[in-house]
Amino acid sequence: MPNKKLILNAAGYVESATQIASPNFDARPKDCLIDLIVIHNISLPPNKYGGAGIVQLFTNKLDPDEHPYYAEIFTRKVSSHFLIRRDGELVQFVSCLKRAWHAGVSNWQGRERCNDFSVGIELEGSDFEVFEPVQYKVLKLLIAALKKNYPIQHIVGHSDIAPGRKTDPGPYFEWDKT
């Protein structure tokens, strides 16, 4: 996928992405412009990559007995529009036309509830390790597709819209590669 152009269709789906439906979304406010991209990082269990934990969390199927950390988070109803795995696989959980539940309590330039007007992109990773070059390649293609379809004005980290509460995408994220 890293060398292909991504096509975002009228229904808000990237046609070449792996589609895994999350129930954790709802309608955006009427006439709300999608003008913000929020970049996150996630790994489940923490600092471990490649497992099913992220998908299980976003689809409400996380087993609290599988890992001690899962017992703390398995009841959370969260999602994101996209996940970019360490190997560059692009997974989509929610149509861009819908409000994924990725930002939580948030504010960008005086606008509350960033889920209303943003697209959430999770990078499989953590605050403690560099991201893979292929993740940046897919991220750049995804951002280009989003900009072609929506009036994107800003690309920010979760830490920018929830300072003090969130730290992702973390100190190893290379903003110049977006």
**Which residues lie closer than 8 Å to 110 by C-beta, 6 or more apart?**
none
Whether 122 is a known active-site residue: answer yes
Give the active site residue among 66, 72, 89, 122.
122
Rounded CA-CA distance 156/37 in Å is 6
**157 has which bridge partners?**
39
Q: What are phi and psi of 175, to 5 degrees?
A: -60, -30
Inter-residue contact 88 to 137 (CB < 8 Å): yes
Give how far Cα 18 sits from Cα of 10, 33, 55, 153, Å. 17, 25, 11, 27
DSSP state of 65: T
State the catalytic residues: 122
